[in-house]
Amino acid sequence: MESLHPRIRILWVVYGVLVGTVAGLVFVGVDRWIAGVPTAVQAGAAVVVGVLGALYAIRLYQLWRFELQEDALYLERGVITFVETAVPFVRVQHVDTQFGPIERALGLSSVVVYTAGSRNADVRVPGLRPERARELQDSLRKLAVESETDDAV
């Protein structure tokens, strides 16, 4: 099983802190326009949500794993709800490599695998170095093409 690049923790921790900041701003809005909320409660709520978000991000990194198996891409992830996903190569429609501005700044990319079907029709593998993302993308494409010929009637 392969883990994600450690820098993905930075991205996820930043997201957790942003959620904490938004929670603090919500309390400021409630204080200003609805009911008085003590400043200590506002700050405390923002800090608690931010810390919980950061801890969640760290734990998520510890649990996130993926592997190319003989006939499928296998993923394990989740903190509160643990999810195991197997994406059969024969179901792969196409594979993209994505990287937003924050990911680019951290030197990371994501691979998105689009599958046939309507439920959860795409699977994302975040937190990969760009070269690793391209390697995974190329491997998935080749395995998908090979599985099509194996599955043919």
pLDDT digits (tens, 9 = 90+) for 26-52: 878 877 788 777 878 778 887 888 888
Q: Where are the beta strands (DSSP E) in the chain?
A: 2-3, 65-68, 72-77, 83-88, 92-98, 109-115, 122-128
Mean pLDDT of 15-26: 82
- Position 15 confidence tier, pLDDT thresholds 50, 70, 90: confident
pLDDT band at 153 (very low <50, low <70, confident <90, very high): very low
In this structure, what token pair is assigned to residue 138? 């190329």
The dihedral through the CA atoms of 82, 86, 92, 94 has a sign that is positive
For residue 152, name the pLDDT band (cuts at 50, 70, 90). very low
- What angle do the packed helices 39-63 and 8-33 form, to 10 degrees? 160
146 — phi, psi (to 5°)?
-60, -40
What is the DSSP-derived secondary structure letter of residue 89?
G
The residue-averaged pLDDT of 54-71 equals 94
